Amino acid sequence: MFSDQSRYLFNCGEGTQRLAHEHKMKLAKLEHIFITQPVWKNIGGLPGTALTIQDVGVPEITLHGPPGLDEVFAATKRFVVIRDLKIHMADCSENNVFEDNVMSVRY
Q: Report yes or no on whether pTM surpasses 0.85.
A: yes
| Spatial separation of the C-alpha atoms in residues 43 and 12, rounded to whole Å | 5
| Spatial separation of the C-alpha atoms in residues 88 and 84, rounded to whole Å | 13
CA atoms within 13 A on the CB side of 79: 6
Question: Which of 7-11, 80-84, 85-89 is the least confident region?
Answer: 80-84
pLDDT for 35-66, tens place per residue? Answer: 999 899 999 999 999 999 999 999 999 999 99
7-106: which CATH architecture? 4-Layer Sandwich (3.60)
